[in-house]
């Protein structure tokens, strides 16, 4: 099960919502067909 952790500044989260960012990353990872559907876990650590 892949775990993807996105580290970014708070400024990035002002430009796009965390949900949108995580969905874009999820969709990109899923499109590779390397992972089973639903196994991809993503979270954001902002600083």
| Percent of the chain at pLDDT exceeding 90 | 89
pTM, two decimals, is 0.85
pLDDT score recorded for residue 38: 87
Predicted confidence (pLDDT) per residue in 11-33, tens digit:
999 999 999 999 999 999 999 99
Q: Determine the pLDDT at residue 1.
A: 82
* Pair type for strands 41-46 and 3-8: parallel
CA distances to 3, 7, 17, 19, 27 from 34, rounded to whole Å, are 13, 23, 26, 22, 12
Q: What mean pLDDT is predicted for residues 3-10? A: 96
Q: Is the pLDDT of residue 6 over 90?
A: yes
């Amino acid at each position: 099960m892949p775990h993807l952790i996105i580290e970014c500044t708070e400024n990035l989260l002002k430009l796009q919502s965390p949900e949108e960012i995580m969905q874009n990353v999820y969709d990109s990872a899923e499109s590779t067909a390397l992972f089973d559907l639903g196994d991809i876990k993503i979270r954001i650590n902002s600083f």
